């Protein structure tokens, strides 16, 4: 007798920490990650009002280097990475020939001829494969650093003051280049010293709040996780799972691969047209991007609902009796207290203010098309 065997999910380098904190786990992109520690809602609110600490070590990190790496990335990805200033980050896309999205990425320039590409856990294999396949004539070196890198996100209005207090996490002349946590700008990064090693600290996130993402060697990760948690306790910092991460990013109107974006979605359909730099001489997907989607191809919208029942992924959207689209993500917004959703709908019904309905398990719930994001922090 034979049976197909799915490999067991991989453990994060911080798994023992989560176990000790009483986390519930879920399989996400082939990794067993914390879905919550106590309450999704309490974790969500902590990030909006104080701070939350997330283990996102499932994310894939791929180092790209070589004298030709900038030109290579301009061809391999949708954006222009060759001119990205040192220690800046950029949101980008890996497109297929048909213009569909293989993954969305954050790309950092970490050196004169060095970049770091951060991909979604579930897309690690196709991203690595595409990056290799697109080398062509370019002499670049690709190294998958995922297994040796932990990624910790500290998010929330208290994030900076907590991180500033963590003993042993220090700015040094050599690593920090005169940047401090206070002067570090959004979508910029800096090196910091930590217990004899170094940490890449970026002012980025997936929650709609101020915050940082810290790339650290797996050997030093647990110490850093514990130090931040201990230091932040007095500010209301709590460990947060993927459930809170999902409602936070949804309120912030940020796309999740496999929901708002995927192989059948052109960037412009998901409101990501600005991410594609079309005046580059060549990049994978260029012809399809220039042709654009069909006139009636669905577009991504935000919708606000009535009552307390959530419209969830795959529920159908109606304009009267006509099915006009499908929900890609939805929840009862913890911050707003009303149902929020993103959906792919026919362009005819995508204007803000359009009254639609979602079939929530047999009941039509009224929703209205609204601008994204649903939530924006005060500047």
List the binding residues for substrate. 213
Choose between 338 and 370: whose C-beta lies nearer to other proteins: 338
Annotate 38-55 with three-state secondary structure. CCHHHHHHHHHHCEEEEE
Residue 159: Cβ-neighbour burial (10 angstroms; 0-12, 13-18, 19+): buried
The token pair that represents 287 in the structure block:
């012809």
Q: Hey, is 245 helix, strand or coil?
A: helix
* Feature table: binding site: 213
Choose between 243 and 301: whose C-beta lies nearer to other proteins: 243
Whose CA is closest to 374, among 341, 328, 345?
Answer: 341
Asked if 331 contacts 339 with a C-beta cutoff of 8 angstroms, the reply is yes
Task: Work out how close the CB of 243 gets to other proteins at its nearest, in angstroms, rounded to a whole number.
Answer: 5
Task: Work out how close the CB of 371 gets to other proteins at its nearest, in angstroms, rounded to a whole number.
Answer: 23
Task: Work out how close the CB of 270 gets to other proteins at its nearest, in angstroms, rounded to a whole number.
Answer: 23
Q: How far apart are CA 331 and CA 314, in angstroms?
A: 13
Choose between 47 and 243: whose C-beta lies nearer to other proteins: 243
Task: Work out how close the CB of 110 gets to other proteins at its nearest, in angstroms, rounded to a whole number.
Answer: 35
Task: Work out how close the CB of 331 gets to other proteins at its nearest, in angstroms, rounded to a whole number.
Answer: 6
For the sheet with 24-28, list strands across it. Answer: 10-11, 31-36, 24-28
Task: Work out how close the CB of 308 gets to other proteins at its nearest, in angstroms, rounded to a whole number.
Answer: 5
Choose between 36 and 203: whose C-beta lies nearer to other proteins: 36
In the chain, the N- to C-terminal Cα span, in Å, equals 62
Q: How far apart are CA 255 and CA 275, in angstroms?
A: 13
Phi, psi at 299, each rounded to 5°: -125, 155
CA atoms within 13 A on the CB side of 277: 20
Choose between 14 and 243: whose C-beta lies nearer to other proteins: 243
**Residues contributing to the site for other proteins (CB under 8 A):** 24, 35-36, 39-42, 44, 243, 246-247, 308-310, 312, 331-332, 334, 361
Residue 41: Cβ-neighbour burial (10 angstroms; 0-12, 13-18, 19+): middle
Q: What is the DSSP string of 90-112?
A: EEEEEE-TTS-EEEEEEEEEEET
Choose between 101 and 310: whose C-beta lies nearer to other proteins: 310
Choose between 18 and 203: whose C-beta lies nearer to other proteins: 18
Task: Work out how close the CB of 29 gets to other proteins at its nearest, in angstroms, rounded to a whole number.
Answer: 16
Task: Work out how close the CB of 332 gets to other proteins at its nearest, in angstroms, rounded to a whole number.
Answer: 5
CA atoms within 13 A on the CB side of 253: 16
Strands 237-240 and 51-55: parallel
Choose between 9 and 263: whose C-beta lies nearer to other proteins: 9
Whose CA is closest to 121, among 203, 61, 167?
Answer: 61
| H/E stretch holding 171 | none
Q: How far apart are CA 254 and CA 275, in angstroms?
A: 14
């Amino acid at each position: 007798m034979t049976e197909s065997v799915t490999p067991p999910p991989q453990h994060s380098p911080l798994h023992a920490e989560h176990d000790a904190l009483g986390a519930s786990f879920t399989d996400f992109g082939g990794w067993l990650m914390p879905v919550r520690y106590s309450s999704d809602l309490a974790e969500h609110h902590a990030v909006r009002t104080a701070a939350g600490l997330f283990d996102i070590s499932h994310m894939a990190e791929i180092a790209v280097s070589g004298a030709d790496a900038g030109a290579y990335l301009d061809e391999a990805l949708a954006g222009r990475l060759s001119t990205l200033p040192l220690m800046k980050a950029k949101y980008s896309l890996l497109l297929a020939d048909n213009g569909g999205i293989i993954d969305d990425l954050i790309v950092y320039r970490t050196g004169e001829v060095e970049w770091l590409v951060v991909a979604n856990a579930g897309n690690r294999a196709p991203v690595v494969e595409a990056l290799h396949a697109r080398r062509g004539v370019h002499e670049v070196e690709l190294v998958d650093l995922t297994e040796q890198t932990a990624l910790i996100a500290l998010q929330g209005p208290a994030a900076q003051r907590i991180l500033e207090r963590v003993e042993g996490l220090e700015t040094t002349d050599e690593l920090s280049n005169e940047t401090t946590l206070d002067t570090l700008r959004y979508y910029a990064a800096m090196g910091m010293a930590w217990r004899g090693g170094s940490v890449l600290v970026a002012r980025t996130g997936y929650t709609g709040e101020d915050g940082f993402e810290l790339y650290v060697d797996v050997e030093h990760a647990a110490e850093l996780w514990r130090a931040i948690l201990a230091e932040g306790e007095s500010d209301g910092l709590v460990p947060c799972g993927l459930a809170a991460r999902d409602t936070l990013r949804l309120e912030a109107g940020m796309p999740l691969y496999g929901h708002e974006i995927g192989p059948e979605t052109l960037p412009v359909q998901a409101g990501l047209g600005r991410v594609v730099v079309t005046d580059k001489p060549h990049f994978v997907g260029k012809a399809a991007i220039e042709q654009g989607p069909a006139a009636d191809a669905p577009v991504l919208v935000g919708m606000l609902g009535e009552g307390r029942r959530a419209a969830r992924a795959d529920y159908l959207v109606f304009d009267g009796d006509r099915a006009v689209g499908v929900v890609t993500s939805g929840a009862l917004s913890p911050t707003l207290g009303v149902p929020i959703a993103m959906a792919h709908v026919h362009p005819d019904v995508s204007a803000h203010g359009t009254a639609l309905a979602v079939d929530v398990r047999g009941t039509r719930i009224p929703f209205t098309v609204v601008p994204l994001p649903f939530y924006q922090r005060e500047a």
